[in-house]
Structure 1
Amino acid sequence: MTVYSKAALAVAIAGCAAAIPAQAADSVAEALSDGKAYGDFRLRYESVEQDNGLDDASALTLRTKLGYQTGSVSGFSATVEMEDTRIVAGEGDYSVPPSGYKTGQYSVIADPETTELDQAFVQYTQGGVTAKLGRQVIAFDGHRHVGHVGWRQDKQTFDGLSMAYKASDKLSLNYAYINQRNRIFAEAADLDSKDHLVNASYQTGAGKLTAYSYLLELDQGNEATLDTYGLSFSGAAPAGNTKLLYSVEYATQSAEAGANEADADYLLLEGGVSAAGLTAKLGYEVLGSDDGAYGFATPLATLHKFNGWADIFLNTPAGGLVDSYVSLGGSLAGGKWALAYHDYSADDDSSGVDNYGSEVNAVYSKKFGKHYSAGVKYAAYSADELAVDTDKLWLWVGASF
């Protein structure tokens, strides 16, 4: 954590204390004693095999998360959460380049060993207003543009201020200012920033309409900016015993870094059917390109959730990305399963690269009682003109309280 971030958290806590009258000391003590402790543990094995010169990677890591949320006094409360990730039984044959761990020897598994302050914020809630100041999770609209990357052992959080206003049962307004992005590589790749996030949604009879503007600026080096404006609409409609699913989204983006400027568009079209315990979807997603020199970027997103679990496209190629996919999911033996197939190509093939490759994904997960869970997940990327063949396997068990 940077000195600035520590100071911001201290100011947040001091501000909360100052806002509570001295005569409310007993109430504060009661709020502290009546708070809620929580936590979860996730033991996960991950293996990566790639058709390149790197050794195959394997990792067995335990993620421990412990937190405490106080009770409320005059609308104020506080949350503190710690997170720790450890290699178990010496199974640490993998690389984490940003942290310098075994770089260049093994394939990448982005789960560094770390112990850090995951969240620490003061919250104020009154009526339809919720405000948080400090280190916190911020996620919007399925994590496509802003998310917590909870798939990795060290999830992404942000230092800053967030405000949410539930104007009515249908209208929600959100704003956040971020001064530090705490990324998934311990503290090795955290970034100072001056980010403004605006998200507004309205629930219509046919679905949810959302408008957003995510204005990102790195507060270091050449102070690169990335401005994204977009609209999305998603919903479901009954048709007898079947439910029809639909989503459409469009966004435009402008990027500037020093003397370099670029523009790109984003498009999502997705339709689906849910019936007899099965859900099938067909999708077409385009992260556009600026004449083969720049690809639409979503640096705050939960990227693993999109464009295949092999994580080939964590950074959009300069030629952009067209992801045509189909998925099928349902329930089995008390758990949930899903299969997906992706076909990847370039939005702009002026660089000579057109067909990127394809990928198959599969997952099964199950909860045991209220506190336990387990799962298995697999991704296989078959390269054509981009990257290399990649196979990934995950096995995990979890417990929470």
Structure 2
Amino acid sequence: MTLRLRAGFELKHSSGLSFLAESEGTLGIVNDYNAFPFTIANSQRRPQFATVADPMNIELNRLQLQYRSAKATVTVGRQRIALDDQRWIGAAAWRQNEQTFDAVRGEARIGPLNLDAAYASSQRTVFGIDAGPRQSFDGDFIMLGAGAKAGPVAVKGFAYLLDYDNALFAANSSQTYGVRATATLPVGRIVKANLAGSCARQSDYGGNPASYSADYAALQAALVVKDLTVTGGWELLGSDNGRAVQTPMASLHPFNGWADMFLTTPNTGLKDYYGSLAYRFSGVKALPGLNASLAYHRFDSATGGLHYGDEWDASLGFKLGRATILAKYADYHAEQMATDTRKVWLQVEFGY
């Protein structure tokens, strides 16, 4: 059981300038868990227990200066960067300690184009101040995106160039170039279809000692009928020369099952076939926002013909006043990787 407090303030001026400062602290109320999934001489490293990567921690989460106008935004300092669906760059907000970046970022709208460019010198990880060299990873990180929308279809091209200084993470230095498209299409009076597709190519970059060039692809279709959403999808993280596509800056928990068995892509790559049902109980006034979901994943390798396993995930959430309550369950059945794993979460979040 852990408790997190995140608090801060923001000062805004009519000119468009703003200053934001935010800290967060995590306390292990019941600390019989292993906070670090790597070897380190620290009292929070408890390998006799299951790993829950929410170490006790106090840190400066964000400290940023921003200028915003109708057509452009510039942000300098320690900041949250969450791009698109956060498959490549995200805040890892499921963890108690959020991932942020020491960066300068510019966003602009020029005619039909949306442009986004960022340079970061440090990735502040979820592991916090007691994680030794894994507290943050320094390097030269370039994040570029350009997109446009035509009717119901939005298309974005992106390039992510990650060059890590830290020898522990040099194998994650990579260059990724790709495109992502999304669309929302009306199917009937009360039915709509949400579509998303992405493809990319990743290869070694900077100080990466490996040499590889692997493909990424994802397709997802969701049919929304009033409060019911039915989703099906497929994701490929390819492999080449014994090296698979990696996404070290992503918000990883929403992808490839909530049991978090694939935070690092296996060397033989990953294929994830999934389907889900989600329902929002809009008529239950006593529990605003009441919703439930059920999902299934089948995990195979991208090369070698392996079947890693299957997973069932379920969730239930609702609000009570200022409190948001969430229960989640993940059940991974191992075949040719890892071991059977079950996880249960109960979460209460208060916002003021």
TM-score (norm: length of structure 1): 0.80
2: CA distance, partners of 1:359 / 1:220: 34
- The answer for the alignment partner of 1:199 in structure 2 is 145
1:337 to 292, 303, 309: 292
- The answer for the alignment partner of 2:274 in structure 1 is 325
Within a 5 Å distance, the mapping from 1:2-401 to structure 2 comes to 60-72=1-13, 74-88=15-29, 91-97=30-36, 98=38, 100=42, 101-168=44-111, 170-187=112-129, 188=131, 189=134, 190-221=136-167, 225-240=173-188, 241-256=190-205, 257-291=207-241, 293-332=242-281, 333=284, 334=288, 335-349=290-304, 354-369=306-321, 371-401=322-352
> Which moves more between the two structures, 172-181 or 71-80?
71-80
Q: CA deviation at 1:290?
A: 0.6
2: CA distance, partners of 1:220 / 1:354: 32
Structure (1 or 2) with the larger CA radius of gyration = 1
| Structure 1 gaps, min length 5 | 1-59
CA-to-partner distance for each residue in 1:275-294, whole Å, 9 max, x for gaps?
13211011011000114x11
| Structure 2 gaps, min length 5 | none
2: CA distance, partners of 1:75 / 1:395: 40
1: CA distance, partners of 2:152 / 2:228: 22
**2:298/2:309 contact within 8 Å kept:** yes
Alignment RMSD, CA only?
A: 1.6
1: CA distance, partners of 2:209 / 2:336: 30
Q: Which has the higher contact order (CA 8 A, sep 6+)?
A: 1
Higher helix share: 1
Q: CA deviation at 1:150?
A: 0.4
Q: CA deviation at 1:219?
A: 2.1
**2:202/2:214 contact within 8 Å kept:** yes
2: CA distance, partners of 1:273 / 1:73: 42
2: CA distance, partners of 1:330 / 1:279: 6
Q: CA deviation at 1:106?
A: 1.1
1: CA distance, partners of 2:22 / 2:83: 21
SS of corresponding position for 2:244: coil
Structure 1 ranges of 4+ moved more than 6 A = none
Q: CA deviation at 1:205?
A: 1.1
Letter in 2 for 1:198: L
Q: CA deviation at 1:156?
A: 0.2
SS of corresponding position for 2:343: strand
SS of corresponding position for 2:31: strand
Identity %, equivalent residues: 34
Matched length = 334
Letter in 2 for 1:172: N
